[in-house]
Amino acid sequence: MGKVPFFAPTLEERLETAVNIEDFNNRILDDYDRKGSAELEADVQTARSIIPAASGSYRDFSYIATEIPLYDPSNCVGCMECVIECPDTAILGKVVEPDALQSELDQVDDSRDQRMLRSRFADTQKYFSTFEKKGEEGGLFGIFIDPTKCKGCAECVDACGDHQALSMVTKTDETLKQFQETFDFYNQLPDTPKRFISDRLLTDMMLSPDSLLYVGGAGSCAGCGEATALRMMTAATGFVHGPENFGMVASTGCNTVYTSTYPYNPYTIPWANSLFENGATFGMGVRSRWNQMGWEGKKLWVVGGDGAFLDIGFQSLSRMIMSGMDINVLVLDTQVYSNTGGQASTASFMSQRSDMAWHGKELKGKRENRKELANICMMHPNVYVAQTTCAHFNHFYRCVMEANEYDGPAVIIAYSTCQPEHGVADNAAMKQAKLAVDSRAFPLIVYDPRKGDTMKERLDLKGNPSVQSDWYTIRKTGETIDFIDFARSEYRFHKHFLGEIESPKITAGYGEPSPELLASKEERLANWRLLQELAGIKSGETAKVAPVKQSAAGSEAAAKQKAALMAARKARKASTSGDEGGAEANKQKAALLAKLKAQKAQK
Amino acid sequence: MKVSEAPQRRSIHYIEYRQTENGEWISEKFHADCELVMEHKIADGEIAQIEAGERPDWTILGLPEIRCNGEVIKEYLEH
Amino acid sequence: MGSTNGSHFPEITTTMDGAQSVVYVEAKITQGACAYPITSSSKMGEEYETYVADGVTNLWEQKLQFMELESEHSAASTCEGFALAGGRVTNFTSGQGLILMKEVLYTISGKRLPIVFHIGARALTSHSLNVHAGHDDVMGVADCGWGMIFAKNAQEAGDFALISRRAAEDSDTPFFNVQDGFLTTHTIETVVLRDDEMMRQYIGKPEEKLLNLMDTANPLMVGAVQNQDSYMKGKIAQRHYYDQVPAALQNAMDEFNQLNGTNYSMIEEHNMENAEYAIVAMGGASETAMATVDYMRDVWDTNVGVVNIVAFRPFPGPIIVEALKNVKAFSILERMDNPLAQSNPLTTEVKSAFVDAMNGAPGYSKIDQVPKMFSGAGGLGSRDIRPADFISMVENMRAKESKRFFVIGIKHDLALSVGLDPDVRPEGSFSMRGHSVGGFGSVSTNKAIATMVGELGYHVQAYPKYGSEKAGLPTTYYLTISREPIRTHSELNFVDFVPMNDTNAFHTTNPFAGLQEKGMIFLQTPMTDPQEVWDAIPANAQEIVRKKHIQVVALDTKAIALEEAPSPQYNQVMQGVVLLGIFLSKVPFLQGLNMAEEELFDQVYKVLDKNYGHRPESLRANLNCVKRGYHEVFEIPRGIIEITSIVRSLPLAEN
């Protein structure tokens, strides 16, 4: 200690010490990848654990999966749904003008390669014929796979669906090389000209580089529903407001673990995490300082899971909403603590099996109702609230755009399929999210205070099928979809189906639903009817739903205790007023009074 | 089940080009792990390549197995 | 008024409490504050917010921001966000609040955000709730990677707000500026305010010193996850920052001393030259210890020194060893108790510093023997720490049979026996203890008197006795005036004037406790005839008055308040302010001033304006109350007192 000469570093030196981006990208990433972390010095740069933007693009998942999507251009209509739904930014689309494509192709030596690359493009009606008809040059549309980002979940194949333009194909060393070369070619092509990106077609926004603010390379599970939500939120914000006007705060959870595990950062925007429960108020600090700097127009998003916002960080969220600050919140609602291995959250569905709400011999999964964060948020003044899913991409994008436009707090709760905890397949994110809406497990909600003075005007349930009815009836077939159908499709409910398990596939539940699951269905219906009532669609029917019975075990114990207490009270009353306890207390009181009297007399 | 079966992976086993009795060519993608068959819309020039024993351009990437009227095409076998 | 020696900048001497002293600085140098109310630091957040409500700008003409969150956890989190985006921010907390934010403290230091939090150190609810001073809370967060310095009085609280900010920003390390809850936060003392230009130069413009890590033009990811492969590297690499903290803090103190003529250092040694014994403490108790050892030196010729630990983090081990290595023994007094540890925290650190010195560890001059070490707990939950306690600690060190671990202030097997409790106030001090009722405005009046006397160039110390109970109950307040700085932070046991606005004071308390010979009492009374007033006093009290030659003055302040109050809501609250007039008229301490009445009331007007806000009608009414108190207070003539023949037994206990 003593008198050591001290020279405080300058601001520039401070930043240099905090993170040297060039050195990080050139040395650290490379050494980390090739030599392993152990070879890297514990130098001062690591002290703050700062990761420069987009380092995730350096990460290579080529050898993760055995399969990769194969694109069939002649079947493609250019709907972009595969690009939207990919959780890893591994599948991208581009529209190229024919001359621009040709001049790039001319630089390819091998004629077979040339043919391969040319064959990636389709002259779709959307980008070619429609434009040609208008007398404009049409564009060629192509879909490209980044083999370093693809985890082989095949979500894109499901997103493509009936268009049948995508299938998976087995990877080999040779084809991997081909895929890489093809993707390099994609990167060399100019950006999609602006004229092909329609402002009215929200699905097109991912053609713009301004929308691709999540570069992939994150360690999320294959097919992760959360990652898609993050990509879509960043896309809709960046596309409208520009990537330079956007920052993110993340509450600890799966999202921070897969996006910020050193040294890979999938974001191209400023991002910060503090803790699990404080995202909203941590964000308030950033917002406050940004506003002080004159950055009122920049968009700040706070993201986190249902644990972060419904449970541990609930009060912090409520506090933020009441501040009226222009902060948007994206709740990645997986209805379970995904990050810690799948424990029940208050967002879990009733009867859902999870850790800490196990389906055992006596207790059959979660006994409590699902907490409806959207409903609670709506009761705060002046807040935009939405419940949406990535499968309803137009709805999702619209909610994000409206949240950004809303001058005040906004909360968007996104249904996020969690493959391991829901017990569904890697390619099921979109499908299950859609089913969650169809089955009233997770209704679509938009609550916009700008729409009017009444609840009815503000609350919009558009997008939910058969919005007037209790359950969704498929017009073509006359079949009704209810919560049981949803439960049947996910392993987290499988123990509620009492019949023989006929199928070896884990995602199918057969047999009759259990009473607990039926109670859960009633609970979902009550929630749906409440929303219908608030939205002015129907009124007065919520009361008809029988109150949901809590688990017998729980209530029996409580009833026993209550009976015991009542008996005790009765016994006490029955005995004379001078029972032992009372007598002792009275004695003490009398003694104290006497003492006080004596004291006073002495004075 | 009225709710469709749980999603299954759709991995290509082979792609078949087949000439029907009336001389029309059709193409289908057969998937290995399920019974799914997808139709492939045949583009210009593909049939000429098939008849020449070559794989159509769009299948150069990924190199899926191509069958023509039941026979595996030459170029696939070379690989 | 006046300037202390050695400063290069103009200074203003005023009176304020430790909370205000901190906020005065922070409202000048920060850009924002976040807080959640908790006794005893709420006052700081409240005061800061008043600046924001008034649209005040900092020294760089930037509007201040304030956010009251819904918990201390969030208040700390919001600070983290504000600082991450390059803002200079502060926070005020105490006790449970500080412990609730503990989780966030780590993420703040982990990100190297140089924030300064101000702590009114408080006991924890580790067996029952207590809102008063203790070091349990700060010791609970002493290992979160933050610097931690302890102010012992209101002056230091403000100065250390500057020093800790400078050290924090120079070393990219957050700091706690700690003062004792209530004992310092709520005690009005004489404080020299630092000059704006000095602060501007010393601290620097935020934008020129702080990194914006939420910069959209330079997008970075902060707060990442690291696994087995990386975490340890980053954690150890943080030593780069921590290694700079001692030099940064030393430099911040040196530069402050140069600019302001102060003499701050990591530890403060008092009377340590040739000291045989020493007392080691942190916070306000150190200063009481200093006053006590001076008394011991001057009156008993005993050589006892005091080492006040200013910097607990970074822990200045080598300097402490240098200061203490030559004494026979020293006793460390700590405001907390952690029985399962090797020792309480400061003792543990001092012991290990001595072991390092014995081993000749790097940074230490090798020593061959270690003084005898004693450690004790005292002042928990603001149990009074008195000069007598320090004397007993010295006796304990000298005794053959001594307690290696001891407690003070309570009766217990571990407690030291307490003997003489000398009056260690500065020579010629004047102290007042008022008995009133919550809601009578007496606490404000006490402040006003302190302000007034401070303006007249005296050192003051004023505080009410705070309990956690609410209004309507008896309250007690204290004031000491002196020509010298007042260093004792104990309850006043020696008083010269006891005003009783509470007519029940004779029954509910002993108003004569500690009242000095020839002291004075004031009685609130509806009576106007001195004889009647005297007759109404309980006989045993009359006896004491007569024996101790106590001067008795009286007035119906309630009637004055009723007459002067501009509206009925002021009837109660204006009783108190009349006392200011009585004080100015009757306290012998002020009689040497020779101020013209007009000049005096001009001063009073200024003070009322400062203390009672800006509503002209209430200001006028208050001034009238003071004037009437000044002119209408009457004394019970000595003749009446002496001729009263009723003498009764059962005298009140005299202290």
Give residue A31's Cα distance to chain centre.
Answer: 33
**pLDDT-derived band at C634, boundaries 50, 70, 90:** very high
CB C198 within 8 A of CB C163: no
Nearest to C158 by CA among C107, C194, C190: C194
Nearest CA in chain B to A67: B11
Three-state DSSP at C479 gives strand
**Given an 8 Å threshold on Cβ–Cβ distance, is A425 in contact with B29?**
no
**Given an 8 Å threshold on Cβ–Cβ distance, is A75 in contact with B39?**
yes
Nearest CA in chain B to A161: B38
> Between B2, B5, B60, which is nearest A479 by CB?
B2
> Chains A and C: how many Cβ contacts under 8 Å?
248
Q: What percent of chain C has pLDDT over 90?
A: 80
- pLDDT tens digit sequence for C312-337: 999 999 999 999 999 999 999 999 99
**Given an 8 Å threshold on Cβ–Cβ distance, is C85 in contact with A289?**
yes
Q: Does A413 touch chain B (CB under 8 A)?
A: no
Fold of C267-407: Rossmann fold (3.40.50)
Count of CB atoms within 10 A of residue A593's CB?
10
Q: Sign of torsion, CA A185 A189 A195 A201?
A: positive
- pLDDT tens digit sequence for A299-315: 999 999 999 999 999 99
Domain C430-643 CATH assignment equals 3.30.70.80: no
**pLDDT-derived band at C607, boundaries 50, 70, 90:** confident
Q: Sign of torsion, CA C577 C582 C587 C592?
A: positive
**DSSP state for residue A50 in the 8-state scheme:** -
Count of CB atoms within 10 A of residue A11's CB?
14
> Chains A and B: how many Cβ contacts under 8 Å?
106
Cβ contact B–C (≥3 pairs, < 8 Å): no
Q: Where in chain C is the domain with CATH 3.40.920.10?
A: 430-643
CB C431 within 8 A of CB C495: yes
> Between C31, C81, C230, which is nearest A46 by CB?
C230
User: Nearest C-alpha of chain A: how many angstroms from B67?
Assistant: 15
Question: Which chain C residues contact residue A5 at CB under 8 A?
Answer: 247
Cα separation, C27 vs C45, in Å, equals 11
Question: Which chain A residues contact residue B11 at CB under 8 A?
Answer: 67, 154, 167-170
pLDDT score recorded for residue A268 = 97
Chains near B (3 or more Cβ pairs under 8 Å): A
Average predicted confidence (pLDDT) for chain C: 93
Largest CA distance in chain B: 45
Burial class for A544, CB neighbours closer than 10 Å (0-12, 13-18, 19+):
exposed
**pLDDT-derived band at C647, boundaries 50, 70, 90:** very low
Tell me: pLDDT of C310 over 60.
yes
Cβ-Cβ contacts under 8 Å for A480 (sequence gap 6 or more): A471, A472, A473, A474
Chains near C (3 or more Cβ pairs under 8 Å): A
Nearest to A367 by CA among A378, A357, A382, A379: A357
Question: Which chain A residues contact residue C75 at CB under 8 A?
Answer: 281
Instruction: Count Cα atoms within 13 angstroms, Cβ side, for A126.
Output: 19
> For chain B, what are the domain ranges?
12-78
User: Nearest C-alpha of chain A: how many angstroms from C615?
Assistant: 31
Burial class for A35, CB neighbours closer than 10 Å (0-12, 13-18, 19+):
exposed
Question: Which chain B residues contact residue A486 at CB under 8 A?
Answer: 3
Question: Which chain A residues contact residue B30 at CB under 8 A?
Answer: none
**pLDDT-derived band at A506, boundaries 50, 70, 90:** very low
Domain C12-260 CATH assignment equals 3.40.50.970: yes
Lookup result for tokens 């919001």:
C78
User: Nearest C-alpha of chain A: how many angstroms from B22?
Assistant: 23
Three-state DSSP at C25 gives helix
Contacts 24+ apart (CB under 8 A), C42-45: C42/C92, C43/C17, C43/C19, C43/C120, C43/C185, C43/C186, C44/C19, C44/C92, C44/C118, C44/C120, C44/C185, C45/C92
pLDDT score recorded for residue C575 = 84
Three-state DSSP at A545 gives coil
Tell me: pLDDT of A541 over 60.
no
**DSSP state for residue A191 in the 8-state scheme:** P
**Given an 8 Å threshold on Cβ–Cβ distance, is A167 in contact with B8?**
no
Lookup result for tokens 């949803």:
A486
Give residue B52's Cα distance to chain centre.
Answer: 16
> Between A1, A51, A285, which is nearest C221 by CB?
A51
Q: Of A43, A49, A210, which to mutate for an interface test with C (greatest number of C Cβ within 10 Å)?
A: A49
Q: Which residues pair with C372 in a beta bridge?
A: C329
Nearest to C423 by CA among C341, C490, C372: C490
Count of CB atoms within 10 A of residue A195's CB?
12
Token readout for A326 is 């222009």
Lookup result for tokens 């936060």:
C185
Nearest to C267 by CA among C319, C303, C318: C319
> Between A167, A179, A424, which is nearest B11 by CB?
A167
Q: Where in chain C is the domain with CATH 3.40.50.970?
A: 12-260
Count of CB atoms within 10 A of residue C626's CB?
30
Three-state DSSP at C274 gives coil
Domains of chain A: 11-50 (no CATH), 67-201 (3.30.70.20), 210-466 (3.40.50.970)
- pLDDT tens digit sequence for C120-132: 999 999 999 999 9
Nearest to A322 by CA among A393, A409, A244: A409
- Please report which helix (H) or strand (E) contains residue C90, including its range: strand C89-93
CB A484 within 8 A of CB A493: no
Cα separation, C521 vs C541, in Å, equals 11
- pLDDT tens digit sequence for C415-463: 999 999 999 999 989 999 999 888 888 888 898 889 888 888 899 999 9
- Please report which helix (H) or strand (E) contains residue A91, including its range: strand A91-96
Q: Of A150, A158, A164, which to mutate for an interface test with B (greatest number of B Cβ within 10 Å)?
A: A164
Chains near A (3 or more Cβ pairs under 8 Å): B, C
Please report, to the nearest 10 degrees, the dihedral formed by the alpha carbons of residues A488, A490, A495, A497 taken in order.
10
Tell me: pLDDT of B78 over 70.
no
Question: Which chain A residues contact residue C87 at CB under 8 A?
Answer: 285, 288-289, 292
Q: Does A427 touch chain B (CB under 8 A)?
A: yes
Question: Which chain A residues contact residue B58 at CB under 8 A?
Answer: 72-74, 119-120
Q: What residues of chain B, 11 to 70, have a C-beta less than 8 Å from chain A?
A: 11-12, 29, 31, 38-43, 56-58, 60-64
CB A54 within 8 A of CB A267: yes
Quickly count helices (H) and strands (E) in chain A: 23, 16
pLDDT score recorded for residue C225 = 95
**Given an 8 Å threshold on Cβ–Cβ distance, is A247 in contact with C216?**
yes
Phi, psi angles (nearest 5°) of residue C567: -150, 155
- Please report which helix (H) or strand (E) contains residue C38, including its range: none
Tell me: pLDDT of B79 over 60.
no
pLDDT score recorded for residue C597 = 86
Q: Of C220, C649, C650, which to mutate for an interface test with A (greatest number of A Cβ within 10 Å)?
A: C220
CB A61 within 8 A of CB A151: yes
Q: Does A157 touch chain B (CB under 8 A)?
A: yes
Three-state DSSP at C120 gives strand
pLDDT score recorded for residue A1 = 45
DSSP string, A137-155: PP-EEEEEE-TTT-----H
Burial class for A580, CB neighbours closer than 10 Å (0-12, 13-18, 19+):
exposed
Q: Sign of torsion, CA C178 C179 C180 C182?
A: negative
Q: Of A46, A57, A296, which to mutate for an interface test with C (greatest number of C Cβ within 10 Å)?
A: A46
**Given an 8 Å threshold on Cβ–Cβ distance, is B10 in contact with A168?**
yes
Scored b (16 or more CB within 10 A) or e, A283-302 reads: bbbbbbbbbbbebeebbbbb
- pLDDT tens digit sequence for C223-252: 999 999 889 999 999 999 999 999 999 999
Lowest mean pLDDT segment, chosen from A85-99, C10-24, C465-479: C465-479
